[in-house]
Amino acid sequence: MDSPHRFIRALRRQPVDTTPVWIMRQAGRYLPEYRATRAEAGDFLTLCKTPELACEVTMQPLRRFELDAAILFSDILTIPDAMGLGLSLVEKQGPRFDRPVRDLSAIQALGVPDPEDDLGYVMDAVRLIRKTLDGRTPLIGFAGSPWTLACYMVEGQGSRDFARIKTLAYDRPDAMAHLLDILVESITLYLNAQIAAGAQAVQIFDTWGGSLSYDAYRRWSLEPMQRIVAGLDRGPEDAPVILFTKGGAPWLEQIADAGADALGLDWCCDPADARRRVGHRVALQGNLDPGILRADNHVIEREVARTLDAFGPQPGHVFNLGHGITPDIRPDAVAKLVNAVHGHPFESA
């Protein structure tokens, strides 16, 4: 299917006029207008759950920068929140759940949220953003991966060693499998609802997959994501799917065979090696180190050029950071990055 958007075309490994670029967490605290809107909302969850405000912050970076995609402003923990686990966000500490699930009985008590009922505010935001974009820029929807959501649900918060969930996985693989089954069904329904509401591409964020051993990753992270991809209804616009595992370099070939259209790379992965390993079976997305945006403008331009050259000629590359932009970054550094990507001498295969 043809698309007028270079972002969608690149994900499909079709010819583009220049490399498209968007940025993970492109709507965030580095923008003063975002901080003002968040202050108006009162807290982060209210910002996420108010469609008009979620639409506003989604649009903010597009007003500043010539980005090639918008991404829905939401959070990966909307699904476990809708399951009744009592999500709160503690300043400078991150997300916490009042009622983590740590045994089979707690897991069996979980229900699958209805996307249009329990998570209707997300679908309302998608519809409003799509209407506001008015065809100018494509919209990305997203969800956290089953393993990543399970980490928060079992640990009750972020973790450095993932002791509780790894203990559950190794001691009670039946309970772990049941939790992942519930999450696979929930995430599949959630992403299908986003696509039906207007998302033109979707990304699965596997933030904590890289914490697993080589074999455990394939069992507990990749296989559930593969089931989600297989269960997606891509809709009339045939929405492409991106899989992003932070720390996923050891499994690039397996991720490339999981059925998605594109594979996201973090900044620890060599782009040339990634291209050599997966060929052109999928598009590649990434992978500038977000810390480079703290450097001088000439360094940003140099590293953008180095990254683009390493990925090689199009088709099949979307420029992005290797993870989310951090709150301390200057907006003018982001402008320099976007302009450097679009201004780089373009080569098509």
SS (H, E, C) 285-324: EEEECHHHHHCCHHHHHHHHHHHHHHHCCECCEEEEECCC
How big is the chain by its Cα radius of gyration, in Å? 19
Crossing angle for the helix pair 51-64 and 331-343, to the nearest 10 degrees: 60
Calculate the alpha carbon distances from 151 to 94, 97, 147, 262, 296 in Å: 14, 11, 6, 24, 37
Cβ-contact 37, 106 below 8 angstroms: no
DSSP state of 240: -
121 is in an annotated binding site: no
The β-bridge relationship of strands 241-245 and 262-264 is parallel
27 is in an annotated binding site: yes
152 is in an annotated binding site: yes
Cβ-contact 252, 286 below 8 angstroms: no
- The CB density around residue 199, as the number of other CB atoms within 10 Å, is 28
Point out the residues that are catalytic: 25, 29, 38, 75, 152
30 is in an annotated binding site: no
323 is in an annotated binding site: yes
158 is in an annotated binding site: no
157 is in an annotated binding site: no
Partnered with residue 171 across adjacent β-strands are: none
Summarize the annotated binding site for substrate as residue ranges: 25-29, 75, 152, 207, 323
Summarize the annotated binding site as residue ranges: 25-29, 75, 152, 207, 323
